[in-house]
Amino acid sequence: MLKIHQLHKSYPIGDSSLHVLKGIDLNVEDGEMVAIMGSSGSGKSTLLNIIGMLDEADSGDYILDGLPIKNLTEKKAAVYRNKFLGFIFQSFNLINYKNALENVALPLYYQGMKRKERQEKALFHLGKVGLTDWAKHLPKELSGGQKQRVAIARALAANPKLLLADEPTGALDSATSHEIMAFIQQLNDEGKTILMVTHEEDIANMCKRIVRLKDGVIMEDEKVNQVRAQEHV
Amino acid sequence: MFDIDLWREIFQSINKNRTRSLLSGFTVAFAILLFTILFGIANGLQNTFAEAFVDDANNAIFINSGRTTKAHKGNQVGRQIQFKNEDFDYVKDEFDEKIEFITARIYKNFQASFRGEQNVYDVRAVHPDHQFLEKTKIKEGRYINQNDLNNKTKVVVIGRLVEDDLFLKTTALGKYLNLGGIQFKVVGIFTDDGGDNEERKIYIPVSTAQYLYGNNDYLDQINLTYNPELNYDQALAFSTLITKKLKNRFSVARSDQRAIRVRNMAEGTKAVSQMTVGLTFIILVIGFGTLIAGIVGISNIMIFIVKERTKEIGIRKALGASPKSIVSIILIESIIITAIAGYVGLLIGVGVLELVGPSLKEYFIKDPGVGNGLVIGATLTLIIAGAIAGYIPAKKASQIKPIIALRND
Ligand SMILES: Nc1ncnc2c1ncn2[C@@H]1O[C@H](COP(=O)(O)OP(=O)(O)OP(=O)(O)O)[C@@H](O)[C@H]1O
Ligand SMILES: [Mg+2]
């Protein structure tokens, strides 16, 4: 699915610069479910954003689904993001003046899908996260868990190959977290490749592989026995 | 090009972000409102100014006589020069090819009465051409004609306000008006753009006046308009020539300024057109000033809107929005708001002018108003300017990395 070789990234801070990623090597196969862990500031989000083409690396190679990602125009990047990638953020990032259904339908709009088809498909995905009855509600009328489920439905709607989640449960209590994890595991069961950043060991253990970052490099990379979230709900 | 989904997105954004839309719309509406009102007032001033001169034909020459101030060819100082019919015919024949219309005037002042109503009016005894010289508009009936002159008929043409004063609510046409003790038949009623004063005048045939009042052939004044094709210099030369010939005819000294007085309206016309240029300039300054203020307002709003929407733009980009779609969604939204708000401002402005317009007449502002073409032009300018001003922040927004837009909170 993706191959990363000697990836570097630094941020300019005043006159000097902060070297955040210092040569990351990472391969992820189709169907994997990977947790990225590490202390705060270790560069987890930075790595995930580069993988998601929301940000660019300074050097190194990144190949996504056989396509080298380098010096893309914004236009091309938009197409790739739309086709390959689904995002789930800690702060949900729903558009506040659009209702749940319209939020879920937005990536389909950018795929150029017809309105009617879009709505049907969005409604189907809302159904999958159990929010059919909430389709016409604005984000502000939803709970945190419901908002994250809308975000998941939106990430899925475009049928991406790779789902990227940055602390998807970071803003939720543990019961709701497990509920969300149950959804994400189900997606993985259905074959989606998933990369997620998390702080919590128990959430990480619900993935199939844990990658630990420290000081800008991968310190540890291990396969784990997946704990099913369903058992905790 | 017409993408219904894009429009749906834009209208949703306008509709769901009402405060923002209203605020930005307000600025534009206010700019256009100010523009309309200022421009309307400037136009009103210009109307007042123009009106002061539209009363009379502006290619007119007025010839008056008076007492001599200089002895000449054996004549004493203080001799009264009196125009007669033969002088009128002389001018008419002598300058025939340069004259457009010509009339004499005899000034009288009579008490006019009909049934119980009476009043004192200026009465002018004139030739038929007088109608065109004075730009008199016949409302009912007819003007003095050649037949009246030939037969010395006792007919009058009265101003609209004379009819109002004396005939109250009834029509004057065909009735008999008592003018200084003599019955005259009303054959016409006229209106005049020169104001109330001009509409309180009474016209009678010049020959009738000469016959009834003194049985002489005296005239008080000779008025004419020259061929409009004469240019300014030719027109002045023409009146100089008339002056010279008449002074010769009456043995008046060349340097005598009183005995024969020829006034050429062309001189005034020149001043009017210079004044008009000045006013037009002021109008242009006002217009551009307001427009520039509006444009600055729109650009500020656009920058504000883009800033406010940074996060939304980030989300849209993460979901696969192309830079082009980001630019168009922001630009079209601002264009729609500008167009609608501009139109609203225009409507309010025109409404205000209509409402207060009539009461501004005493401040020398007549019929304040703006041409449609002008305001549409101004609105289009605002829209285009708004689009250009908005394009830069919109383009910038479309090029920021989504991660930067998303972090923005
Ligand atoms: N745009 C930026 N400019 C400057 N420094 C940045 C920028 N983005 C991130 N950093 C710095 O880079 C380092 C890594 O940031 P990153 O967000 O990847 O950490 P993280 O591992 O996700 O941390 P957390 O667990 O707190 O989310 C941090 O020290 C952060 O301050
Ligand atoms: Mg982070």
Q: What is the pLDDT of residues A190-201, one digit of tens each?
A: 899 999 999 999
In a domain, B74, yes or no: no
d(CA A72, CA A65): 15
Q: Check whether residue B278 and residue B225 sit in a common domain.
A: no
Closest among B103, B79, B108, B106 to B92, alpha carbons compared: B103
Number of domains in chain B: 2
Chain A residues within an 8 Å CB radius of B9: 109
What does the angle CA A181 – CA B402 – CA A185 come to, to the nearest 5 degrees? 15
Q: Check whether residue B106 and residue B212 sit in a common domain.
A: yes
Q: Which domain holds residue B387?
A: 4-52+271-407
Q: Check whether residue B113 and residue B238 sit in a common domain.
A: yes
Residue B198 DSSP symbol = G
Q: B186: which residues sit within 8 A by CB, 6+ positions away?
A: B141, B155, B156, B157, B158, B172, B173, B174, B175, B176, B177
Q: Check whether residue B243 and residue B97 sit in a common domain.
A: yes
Please indicate whether, in this complex, the C-beta atoms of A82 and B403 are within 8 angstroms of each other: no
Please indicate whether, in this complex, the C-beta atoms of A49 and B403 are within 8 angstroms of each other: yes
Suggest the residue from B319, B322, B324, B326 to mutate for an interface test with chain A (most A CBs closer than 10 A): B319
Strands B137-141 and B182-191, bridge-based pairing: antiparallel
- Confidence bin at A219 (pLDDT 50/70/90): very high
Please indicate whether, in this complex, the C-beta atoms of B322 and A78 are within 8 angstroms of each other: yes
In a domain, B256, yes or no: no
Would you give per-residue pLDDT tens digits along chain B (409 residues)? 457 777 888 888 888 778 878 887 888 888 888 888 877 877 777 777 766 655 556 788 899 999 888 888 888 888 888 999 999 999 999 888 889 999 999 998 889 888 888 889 999 999 999 998 888 899 999 999 999 999 999 999 999 999 988 888 888 889 999 988 899 999 999 998 877 888 899 999 999 999 988 888 999 999 998 888 887 788 888 888 989 998 889 888 888 888 889 888 877 767 766 777 787 788 778 777 877 887 787 777 778 778 888 888 889 988 988 888 888 888 888 788 888 888 888 888 888 888 877 766 666 666 666 777 777 787 787 778 777 777 888 888 888 788 877 775 5
Phi/psi of residue B218, each to 5°? -80, 150
- Spatial strand order of the sheet with A16-28 comes to A16-28, A2-13, A59-64, A67-68
Q: How many CA atoms lie within 13 A of A29 on its CB side?
A: 5
In a domain, B68, yes or no: no
Residue B20, H or E segment: helix B18-54
Q: Cβ(B95)–Cβ(B230) under 8 Å?
A: no
- The per-residue pLDDT for A192 is 92
- The per-residue pLDDT for A225 is 92
Query: Hunting for tokens 């205000």 — which residue is that?
Result: B352
Q: B77: which residues sit within 8 A by CB, 6+ positions away?
A: B68, B69, B70, B71
Q: Check whether residue B277 and residue B308 sit in a common domain.
A: yes
In a domain, B380, yes or no: yes
d(CA A121, CA A159): 11
Please indicate whether residue B339 or residue A39 has the higher confidence score (pLDDT).
A39
Q: Check whether residue B210 and residue B313 sit in a common domain.
A: no
In a domain, B145, yes or no: yes
Q: Which domain holds residue A170?
A: 2-232
- The per-residue pLDDT for B362 is 64
Among all ligands shown, which has an atom nearest to the Cα of A166? 2
d(CA B269, CA B233): 12
Q: How far is B322 from chain A (nearest CA, A)?
A: 5
Angle between helix B232-249 and B85-94 (nearest 10): 140
Query: Hunting for tokens 């032009």 — which residue is that?
Result: B377
Closest among A7, A68, A73, A53 to A160, alpha carbons compared: A53
- Comparing CB atoms, the residue among B8, B316, B323 nearest residue A74 is B323
Tokens, residue B77: 């100082």
Please indicate whether, in this complex, the C-beta atoms of B406 and A54 are within 8 angstroms of each other: yes
What does the angle CA A215 – CA A220 – CA A223 come to, to the nearest 5 degrees? 150
Closest among B240, B235, B264 to B254, alpha carbons compared: B240
- Comparing CB atoms, the residue among B17, B322, B401 nearest residue A55 is B401
Chain A residues within an 8 Å CB radius of B3: none
End-to-end CA, chain A: 31
- The per-residue pLDDT for B1 is 43
How do residues A46-85 score in pLDDT, each as one tens digit? 999 999 998 889 999 999 988 898 888 888 888 888 888 9
In a domain, B349, yes or no: yes
Closest among B19, B10, B18, B30 to B344, alpha carbons compared: B30
Please indicate whether, in this complex, the C-beta atoms of A97 and B321 are within 8 angstroms of each other: no
Identify which of A9, A22, A42, A49 to mutate to test ligand 1's pocket (most ligand atoms within 8 A of the CB).
A42
Q: How far is B278 from chain A (nearest CA, A)?
A: 53
Q: Check whether residue B240 and residue B94 sit in a common domain.
A: yes
Residue that is last in its domain, among B217, B249, B281: B249
Please indicate whether, in this complex, the C-beta atoms of A110 and B312 are within 8 angstroms of each other: no
Residue ranges lining ligand 1, Cβ < 6 Å: A 11, 13, 18, 20, 38, 40-46
Closest-approach residue (CA) in chain A for B317: A78
Closest among A88, A126, A130, A137 to A104, alpha carbons compared: A126
In ligand 1, which atom is closest to the CA atom of B407? 1
Q: Which residues are registered as beta bridge partners of A2?
A: A28, A64
Biggest alpha carbon distance in chain A?
Answer: 53
Question: At residue B62, what is the residue type?
Answer: F
Q: Going by CA atoms, what residue is nearest to atom 7 of ligand 1?
A: A11
Chain B residues within an 8 Å CB radius of A111: 320
Q: Going by CA atoms, what residue is nearest to atom 31 of ligand 1?
A: A41
Chain B residues within an 8 Å CB radius of A76: none
Q: Check whether residue B357 and residue B319 sit in a common domain.
A: yes
- The per-residue pLDDT for A31 is 93
Distance A199 CA to ligand 2 centre (A): 9
For chain A, helix, strand, coil in percent to 5 are 40, 30, 35
In ligand 1, which atom is closest to the CA atom of A197? 22
Q: Check whether residue B312 and residue B402 sit in a common domain.
A: yes
Please indicate whether, in this complex, the C-beta atoms of A54 and B9 are within 8 angstroms of each other: no
Chain B residues within an 8 Å CB radius of A94: 315
Chain B residues within an 8 Å CB radius of A54: 318, 401-403, 406
Q: Going by CA atoms, what residue is nearest to atom 9 of ligand 1?
A: A46
- Comparing CB atoms, the residue among A49, A95, A111 nearest residue B315 is A95
Please indicate whether, in this complex, the C-beta atoms of B320 and A82 are within 8 angstroms of each other: yes
Q: Going by CA atoms, what residue is nearest to atom 19 of ligand 1?
A: A41
Please indicate whether, in this complex, the C-beta atoms of A75 and B322 are within 8 angstroms of each other: yes
**Extended strands (E) in B235-394:** 260-264
Angle between helix A74-84 and B310-318 (nearest 10): 60
Q: B92: which residues sit within 8 A by CB, 6+ positions away?
A: B99, B102
In a domain, B8, yes or no: yes
Tokens, residue B85: 């019919």
Chain B residues within an 8 Å CB radius of A89: 406
d(CA A162, CA A1): 8
d(CA B248, CA B261): 13
CA torsion angle for A53, A57, A63, A68 (degrees, to 10)?
90
Identify which of A7, A9, A18, A39 to mutate to test ligand 1's pocket (most ligand atoms within 8 A of the CB).
A18
Question: At residue B249, what is the residue type?
Answer: R
Tokens, residue A87: 């995002």
Rg (CA), chain A: 18
Identify which of A9, A11, A56, A58 to mutate to test ligand 1's pocket (most ligand atoms within 8 A of the CB).
A11
pLDDT at A142 over 90: yes
- Comparing CB atoms, the residue among B4, B316, B401 nearest residue A54 is B401
In a domain, B263, yes or no: no
- CATH no. for residue A138? 3.40.50.300
How do residues A178-190 score in pLDDT, each as one tens digit? 988 998 998 899 8
Q: Check whether residue B39 and residue B136 sit in a common domain.
A: no
Number of domains in chain A: 1
Q: Check whether residue B171 and residue B36 sit in a common domain.
A: no
